[in-house]
Amino acid sequence: MGDSNKYILDESRIPKAWYNINADLPVPPQPVLHPATKQPVTPDFLSVLFPMSLIMQEISTERWVEIPEPVREVYRLWRPTPMYRARRWEKALDTPAHIYYKYEGVSPVGSHKPNTAVAQAYFNKAGGTKGLTTETGAGQWGSALAMACSFFGLGLEVYMVRVSYEQKPYRRIIMQNFGAEVHPSPTDRTTFGRKVLAEDRHCPGSLGIAISEAVEVAATSNGAKKYSLGSVLGHVLMHQTVIGLESLEQMELAGEYPDVVIGCAGGGSNFAGFSFPFLWKNLTAGKKTRIIAVEPAACPSMTKGKYAFDYGDAAATAPIVKMLTLGHTFVPPGIHAGGLRYHGMSPTVSALVDHGDIEARAVRQLATFEAAVHFMKSEGIIPAPESAHAIRAAMDEALECKTNGHRRTIAFNLSGHGHFDMMAFDAYHQGRLEDYDYPEERVKEAMQHLPEVALPGC
Ligand SMILES: *Cc1c(COP(=O)(O)O)cnc(C)c1O
């Protein structure tokens, strides 16, 4: 106990229920709006895209939602995941802080994403869905869902951002190994894809475009296919809470409780999954842990975006939600953390940032890779560039403790390994990585394309 490096739980400690923060939200949830009528959507509208079980989870206010046994059985392949005390890194940083990290890179595809992929595949199968469509950026989400679909016998069609499809073939091949069909987006298979290609034949694609294509295919499949999203939505965040629930127990084993909890945030799912159980203790048990969400300065939805109603996708065909957004017309700069390039942020995380329960922080690309390499030299794990944003923030907190002599306990989520991101590390070592701060003017410009929403009381 006293001088352990890692805290391992037995398989029987895999949580039996997910934590649903809707039960404890300090602010009322905002409605989800129809993209055309701009009025609140009905479960019927959403049921074209999602099975009813997941829609009910989305709107549920029950604090605990039971994890079905077949899902826990798959979780057993890699859960519970380890929690480490970064003793060697603490020494290298010469900090009085205690640093802990939860490691989700031990899953078969190397990130936290299977936690929800397995649950979504299970509930779709149970609801009679034959196949799923989805989008993927660098392929983290696509490979997680491809594995889950193969486990539960579902077909899968993946729309993969074209530039990643061409430059990052490894995860595409993983998806194909699991039996998924992978298309470089924009494609000529959808109305929206053809429209984008007509305007720019060499369009490199974006997550927003790929979402539009995957949604279109599911929505026009006459019920044969449903759509699956790897982040942003409430049920996705909830499935990820197995991370934080295990972490609560592991911190107890370590005999400490975190003063600071940190996660990187793209759509917000690994951050929420790790931090919401700690936030639950803040909201209901008098704990005062600082909860920090970290994003790239190049895609600063939380620190520079506006808290407003916006479309979930580029084509303005997905539902409108209230979130911190850079505008659905946002075209992400080519930074190496592909998983952190979405134009918005999960509505739940956005509401909690807006309300002051969560701190938001942006870090630059070079400082992020510097922290990743520094961490790796002590702890040995090669982090995903996305996860490195959390490492940067943890490092800054630890250095602040050193400067001011604070003995704080810092815990962060290491959302995945970076074994397929070697070209990004290569670019860093060769001095080819650049910092980029997304300009305020571009945010202002994009705000003019937000949907006009007139709702009583909003
Ligand atoms: C996809 C991904 C992210 C970002 O997605 P969130 O939904 O914000 O968690 C972060 N880290 C890794 C390793 C990822 O694959």
Q: Are both 173 and 265 inside the same structural domain?
A: no
Q: Are both 343 and 431 inside the same structural domain?
A: yes
Q: Ligand 1: which atom is nearest the Cα of residue 417?
A: 13
What mean pLDDT is predicted for residues 266-291? 98
Q: Are both 308 and 381 inside the same structural domain?
A: yes
What mean pLDDT is predicted for residues 266-288? 98
What mean pLDDT is predicted for residues 288-313? 96
pLDDT of residue 263: 98
Strand 181-185: give its sheet, edge to edge.
Answer: 181-185, 155-161, 131-136, 225-227
Rounded CA gap, 315 and 325, in Å?
15
What mean pLDDT is predicted for residues 246-261? 98
Phi, psi of 185 (to 5 degrees): -100, 135
Instruction: Residue 308: count other Cβ atoms within 10 Å of its Cβ.
Output: 18
pLDDT at 58 over 90: yes
pLDDT of residue 213: 96
pLDDT of residue 336: 74
- pLDDT, tens digit, 9 for 90 and up, residues 102-121: 999 999 999 999 999 999 99
Instruction: Residue 338: count other Cβ atoms within 10 Å of its Cβ.
Output: 26
Q: Are both 211 and 273 inside the same structural domain?
A: no
Distance 155 CA to ligand 1 centre (A): 23
- Say which residue the tokens 């923060």 belong to: 21
Distance 231 CA to ligand 1 centre (A): 8
The helix-helix angle for 269-285 and 242-254 (nearest 10°) equals 60
- Nearest in space to 370 (alpha carbons), one of 352, 383, 354: 383
* Residue where one domain finishes, among candidates 204, 234, 264: 234
Q: Are both 338 and 230 inside the same structural domain?
A: no
pLDDT of residue 274: 99
Distance 108 CA to ligand 1 centre (A): 15
pLDDT of residue 133: 98
Rounded CA gap, 274 and 195, in Å?
39
pLDDT at 396 over 60: yes
* Residue where one domain finishes, among candidates 203, 234, 265: 234
Distance 398 CA to ligand 1 centre (A): 23
Q: Taking a C-beta distance cutoff of 8 angstroms, is the pair 270, 263 a contact? A: yes
Residue nearest to atom 1 of ligand 1 (CA): 339
Residue 191: inside a domain: yes
- Nearest in space to 232 (alpha carbons), one of 250, 254, 207: 207
Strand 359-363: give its sheet, edge to edge.
Answer: 6-7, 83-85, 98-103, 409-414, 260-264, 290-296, 359-363
Q: Taking a C-beta distance cutoff of 8 angstroms, is the pair 226, 53 a contact? A: no
Count the domains in the chain. 2
Residue nearest to atom 3 of ligand 1 (CA): 339
Distance 343 CA to ligand 1 centre (A): 14
Distance 389 CA to ligand 1 centre (A): 11
Residue 56: inside a domain: no
Rounded CA gap, 273 and 239, in Å?
7
Strands (DSSP E) contained in 228-319 are 260-264, 290-296, 306-311
Q: Are both 330 and 307 inside the same structural domain?
A: yes
Q: Using pLDDT thresholds of 50, 70 and 90, give the confidence band for residue 330.
A: confident
Q: Are both 261 and 219 inside the same structural domain?
A: no
Global model pTM greater than 0.75:
yes
* Residue where one domain finishes, among candidates 215, 234, 253: 234
CA distances from 2 to 6, 84, 253, 413 (A): 11, 13, 9, 22
Q: Pick the range with the lowest mean pLDDT from 8-22, 371-385, 439-453.
A: 439-453
Q: Ligand 1: which atom is nearest the Cα of residue 231?
A: 7
Residue 58: inside a domain: no
pLDDT of residue 333: 73
- pLDDT, tens digit, 9 for 90 and up, residues 70-103: 999 999 999 999 999 999 999 999 999 999 999 9
Instruction: Residue 408: count other Cβ atoms within 10 Å of its Cβ.
Output: 18
Q: Pick the range with the lowest mean pLDDT from 182-186, 364-368, 435-439.
A: 435-439
Residue 133: inside a domain: yes
Chain-wide mean pLDDT for the chain? 95
Q: Taking a C-beta distance cutoff of 8 angstroms, is the pair 321, 346 a contact? A: no
Q: Using pLDDT thresholds of 50, 70 and 90, give the confidence band for residue 341.
A: confident
Helix intervals (H) in 86-239: 87-93, 114-126, 140-152, 162-167, 169-177, 191-199, 207-219, 234-239
Rounded CA gap, 185 and 192, in Å?
10
CATH number at residue 120: 3.40.50.1100
pLDDT of residue 40: 94
Q: Ligand 1: which atom is nearest the Cα of residue 340?
A: 4
CA distances from 161 to 110, 214, 304 (A): 20, 11, 25
Q: Ligand 1: which atom is nearest the Cα of residue 270?
A: 9
Ligand 1 is surrounded, with C-beta below 6 A, by 111, 113, 140-141, 231, 264-271, 339-340, 384, 386-387, 415-416
